[in-house]
A and B are shown apart, each in its own frame.
Chain A
Amino acid sequence: MSMMAIAEQTEAETVTERKPGGKALWLLAPGVLWMVLFLVLPMLMMVYVSFWTQTTFKIEPTLTLKSWVTFFTSDTYLGALWTTVRIWLIVLVSTVLVGYPAALYVGLFVKNKALQTVLLVLCVIPFWTSFLIRVLAWRPMLGKEGAINMILMNLGITDAPIEVLLFSELSVIIGMTQIYCVFMVGPIAFMLGRIDHSVIEAAQDLGAGFWRIFRTIILPLSMPGVVVGAIFVSVMVLGEFATSAALSGRKVNLLGNIIVTQVGSLKWAFAAVAGVVLTILMGAVIAALLRVVDLRKEL
């Protein structure tokens, strides 16, 4: 009897001890509420709508798999899915190829902290103009009579204008790489800036040359930055529609473009299917990227 009383007492004590934790949880309430209302519910709604019945002008809440079957049997939609994945992979690789050396320079070779900040801010300057202007500015640059073709022809390097430069997949890739590169440079430069310089000197002192040090020390230590940058770029490229619309002359259709046109023609169910597919794709990409590096350990 007394044993039970003690047990109960201990239980009561543990409960009182936990109370501050319970109170602290309320700090999460506004965020959780916001996310549930405006993120989780709409997403569930999107999944739900993707099973509704779509007719030409109407959508009815009768559950059917028709939209899903149409999506996965249509060459247009599957083609868009494939284009999305392809362009995402190419842009990811090109942002790393363009961004990593720049980040290496800023993060490792610029010793002056102030200059480092100035250079990183320079990377962000294009963002002071609007997205649309940045995208459209590529047209007079890449067009048949654009700056690049004019220069190449005037220098006598080419005889005829290179037409593939604009309104092609290439122009989309060029545009996206330019726009999203800074999201790769930032995180990598940050991680490189955190490497203690004496660690690199120690590797030098132990007899390793620059490329060896890069491969064995600098690259592994900057991987978390590459992963964070890759997540930024992936999420933005996978959801893209404006760049491809403006620079490909509607020849390149990404999942984002499909969603825009479907919503435009009030085909909510198809749009929802494409939306769910895109969300799953992004989730898978992020999960895969997070497997590469244990970010909790690094940050």
Chain B
Amino acid sequence: MSTVLQLKNVTKAFGEMRALDGIDLALPGDAYISLLGPSGSGKTTLLRVIAGFEDPDGGSIVFDGKRIDTVAPHQRGIGFVFQNFALFPHLSVAQNIAFGLENREVDAVTDRRVVERRVKDIIALVGLSGLEGRAVTQISGGQRQRVALARTLVTEPRMVLLDEPLGALDANLRARMRTELRAIRERCGVTFLHVTGSETEALAMGDTVLVLDRGRIAQSADSDTIYNRPASPAVARFLNCYNLFPGRLEVGAFVGSAGRFSLGSRPASRATQPAYAIRYDRVAVRPREAAIGDDEVRVEGNFVASEYSGAAVNSFFTLDDGRVFEVETHLSHAAPETYEDQGRYALVWKREDALVYA
């Protein structure tokens, strides 16, 4: 796959705050890429630097074989879909979509019939037929999202940046638009860079997932790798599915305030801070007195509460060092168990399932 966008050592600071601290990345053409980062990790800044709304302090941005970091945003040919959609409030749906074709500085389309035909095609593509003449204030959130997307896609950019595009929609619509967005992208054959703070959205949508941590790319991999082998404790934390313990590595064991966990054969990953991570759904809850196997690790905790979400139930325990420990039990094969309030249980997992960073 050819590289459509390449960033080398891009930096950007606001005062003392380093929003982008040396970003290196290469994005392939014709792919769906999601960029996951907690708020404040610099993800919106990164997108705005690529689009040209912010100037980077250093580094280079190469798009489509050309350096673009000094090119004005309206000459970059990169589409941007805003979180709040940023539709032109005084124009109708069709006029909003036609705006780029009619008004762009480079290669504007002057033939009204060509504009009408292309607007009609893109309206059909995003599923807005019948709403052409509506004011953008008179349509629903999901429809506005489609207008914003159509408005960008009709100008045929080689790449589209989406800044938390589903953030303004309600949960139901969000799930539907996910599939829709992927389908639309496949039909257009361009690269989508989708920024999100939601780990499920990032994993579900991206062919490649980038994880941003404090202005740096912490990991870049496919969803499965990100989920099962997070590159650092920070990535594991953003994924919101790992119990993390700080501590230190000793011979054959990881020692932290929660106890001493014996290690399996898996080598430890490199990280700046030693940490021990175990996925929520790899943990079993057993009575205190139950014996454990040779390859198992055990810690005790008091049951606090549980949260039922249909397919799974998440139970929360406090460990002796005050840390909250979460266990996710899938209900496809088991009925939900009831635990005694403040009751003490053994939380057990296989040594091999844990990830160790040192």
A: residues with CB less than 8 A from B are 196, 198-199, 201-209, 212-213, 216-217, 220-221
**Contact between B86 and A207, CB atoms less than 8 A apart:** no
23 contacts between A and B (CB under 8 A): A196-B86, A201-B51, A201-B53, A202-B87, A202-B151, A203-B99, A204-B53, A204-B73, A205-B51, A205-B74, A205-B78, A206-B100, A206-B104, A206-B152, A206-B155, A207-B100, A208-B74, A208-B103, A208-B104, A208-B105, A209-B74, A209-B105, A221-B90
Residues of A within 8 A of B151 (CB): 202, 206
B189 → chain A closest CB, angstroms: 20
Residue of A nearest to B163 (CB): A198
Given contacts A205-B51, A208-B74, is CB(A198)–CB(B82) below 8 Å?
A: yes
B311 at the interface (CB under 8 A from A): no
**Contact between B88 and A204, CB atoms less than 8 A apart:** no
Report Cα–Cα, A203/B74, bound state, in Å. Answer: 8
Give per-residue flags for B9-24: 1 if the beta carbon is below 8 A from chain A beta carbons, else 0: 0000000000000000
The residue that A205 contacts in the complex, of B73, B84, B88, with Cβ under 8 A, is B73
Given contacts A203-B99, A208-B99, is CB(A198)–CB(B74) below 8 Å?
A: no
Residues of A within 8 A of B77 (CB): 207
Report Cα–Cα, A261/B309, bound state, in Å. Answer: 84
B80 at the interface (CB under 8 A from A): yes
B3 at the interface (CB under 8 A from A): no
A286 → chain B closest CB, angstroms: 23
B1 at the interface (CB under 8 A from A): no
**Contact between A199 and B89, CB atoms less than 8 A apart:** yes
Report Cα–Cα, A196/B86, bound state, in Å. Answer: 7
Residues of A within 8 A of B103 (CB): 203, 206-208, 212-213, 216
**Contact between A221 and B86, CB atoms less than 8 A apart:** no
Report Cα–Cα, A202/B82, bound state, in Å. Answer: 8
B: residues with CB less than 8 A from A are 51-53, 72-75, 77-80, 82, 84, 86-90, 99-100, 103-106, 108, 151-152, 155
Report Cα–Cα, A221/B79, bound state, in Å. Answer: 23
**Contact between B88 and A203, CB atoms less than 8 A apart:** yes
Residues of B within 8 A of A202 (CB): 80, 82, 86-88, 151
Residues of A within 8 A of B90 (CB): 220-221
Residues of B within 8 A of A216 (CB): 99, 103
Residue of B nearest to A216 (CB): B103
A263 → chain B closest CB, angstroms: 46
A5 → chain B closest CB, angstroms: 45
Residues of A within 8 A of B52 (CB): 204
Residue of B nearest to A212 (CB): B103
Counting chain A CB atoms within 10 Å of each CB, the highest count among B52, B105, B106 belongs to: B105
A219 → chain B closest CB, angstroms: 10
Report Cα–Cα, A49/B103, bound state, in Å. Answer: 58
Residues of A within 8 A of B105 (CB): 207-209, 212
**Contact between A198 and B86, CB atoms less than 8 A apart:** yes
A97 → chain B closest CB, angstroms: 23
The residue that A207 contacts in the complex, of B51, B75, B82, B89, with Cβ under 8 A, is B75
Counting chain B CB atoms within 10 Å of each CB, the highest count among A201, A202, A209 belongs to: A202
In the complex, besides A198-B84, A205-B74, A205-B80, 7 extra interface pairs with C-beta distance below 8 angstroms are A199-B87, A201-B53, A204-B53, A204-B73, A205-B51, A206-B104, A207-B108
